[in-house]
Amino acid sequence: MPVTADLTKLVDKAYQDKTLTEIVDAPVSALAGVSDGDAKLLKDAFNITTVGDLGRNPYFRTANALVALAGGK
């Protein structure tokens, strides 16, 4: 089943017309609000270079799960 989503506020303008697969494979700086400097820090600290790397990172997944369990606070 095809899924559509408005990504305009989630990713930089250059990635708004990309497929989800292309966005997952894109540099983490493709995410709105993540600068090239932030991307470098993520690379240096966690070896994260793509949006997919960030989404699959066990530390970020654990933190996200804990926030969800706390009711999103």
One digit per residue, pLDDT tens: the chain, 73 residues? 676 778 889 999 999 999 999 999 999 999 999 999 999 999 999 999 999 999 999 999 999 999 999 997 7
The model's pTM is: 0.86
DSSP code, position 18: S
Question: How far is residue 8 from each of residues 25, 28, 39, 51, 68, measured CA to CA in Å?
Answer: 17, 16, 20, 16, 24
- Please give the single-letter amino acid code of residue 52: G
The pLDDT assigned to 3 comes to: 67
Burial of 10 (0-12, 13-18, 19+ CB in 10 A): middle
The rounded distance, in Å, linking the Cα atoms of 54 and 62 is 12
